[in-house]
Amino acid sequence: MYSFMGGGLFCAGVGNILLIVSTATDYWMQYRHSNNFMHQGLWRYCTPGKCFTHTDSIAYWDATRAFMILSLLACFFGIIIGIMAFIHYSTFERFDKTFAAGTLFFISCFFVFLAMAVYTGVTMNYYGKRYGSWRFSWSYIIGWVAVVLTFFSGIFYMCAYRMHECPRNPAPH
């Protein structure tokens, strides 16, 4: 049970760091414009030597930002509750902290998946049809890695919950 929780905490910790980096950095997409390489993130777009804040309130950026922030929060609170379950912190005995942490990790996975799906769909539809020299970049890629890590965090915590709730009984001889 503790190895599952340890694995879940490790995946969630790395996933949360990747969510922070992915959300905060400006390399979701790179493209060439007027023979200059430019890049953009959820908050800013950058030309060679200078970055500018997105001033437009474009729905897919707002949705992606909101889902990434919700994912960060769910993963963070999942880690806190997961640590409490791991060390047997006894506040709130009425609910199972292992199950709650696993649920929060799945919620985090769902939100980051929604963020990545919205961004991917709109970007492919818009830029794919209009521009030829663009590509997704490393901030975007680590967002997808965070999807996998938060999913496995939930799996690990649900396995730990299952082991705790249904211990194996030795067969009578």
CA distance 103 to 99: 6
**Using one digit for the tens of pLDDT, what is the confidence trace for 37-61?**
888 899 998 988 899 998 877 888 8
Q: Number of helices and strands (H, E) in the chain? A: 4, 5
State how far the Cα of 19 lies from the Cα of 69, in Å rounded to an integer. Answer: 9
Model confidence at 128: pLDDT above 80: no
Q: What is the pLDDT of residues 72-118, one digit of tens each?
A: 999 999 999 999 888 876 665 667 889 999 999 999 999 999 999 99
Q: What residue has token string 């995946």?
A: 11
Q: Distance between CA atoms of 53 and 65, rounded to whole angstroms?
A: 14
Locate 41 and state its tokens.
Answer: 């993130």
Concatenate the DSSP letters of all residues of 19-31 into one string: HHHHHH-S-SEEE
Domain ranges of the chain: 1-25+59-166
Fold of domain 1-25+59-166: Butyryl-CoA Dehydrogenase, subunit A; domain 3 (1.20.140)
